[in-house]
Amino acid sequence: MRLLLATIMVVGAALTACATPAASTAPTVPPVATTTTTVTTSSAIAEPPPPPPPCAPTIRACVSLSLKQAWLLTSGVIDYGPVPISHGAANSPTPTGTFPVSWKDADNTSSIYRTRMPNSVFFAPGGIAFHEGSITEPSHGCVRLAPDAAKFFFDHLTRGQLVQVVT
Per the CB < 8 A criterion, the answer to whether 6 and 32 are in contact is yes
Residues 102 and 154 in one domain: yes
Residues 25 and 77 in one domain: no
Predicted TM-score of the model (pTM): 0.70
88 part of a folded domain: yes
How far apart CA 80 and CA 55 sit, in angstroms, is 14
CATH of the domain at 66: 2.40.440.10
Residues 145 and 76 in one domain: yes
72 part of a folded domain: yes
132 part of a folded domain: yes
How far apart CA 80 and CA 58 sit, in angstroms, is 15
For 22, counting Cβ atoms within 10 Å of its Cβ (0-12 exposed, 13-18 middle, 19+ buried), the class is: exposed
Domain count, the chain: 2
Per-residue pLDDT of the chain (167 residues; tens, 9 = 90+): 344 334 434 334 433 333 334 444 555 555 555 555 555 555 678 887 767 789 999 999 999 999 999 999 999 999 999 999 999 999 999 999 999 999 999 999 898 888 999 999 999 999 999 999 999 999 999 999 999 999 999 999 999 999 999 99
Residues 31 and 112 in one domain: no
Q: Which domain holds residue 26?
A: 1-36
Residues 143 and 68 in one domain: yes
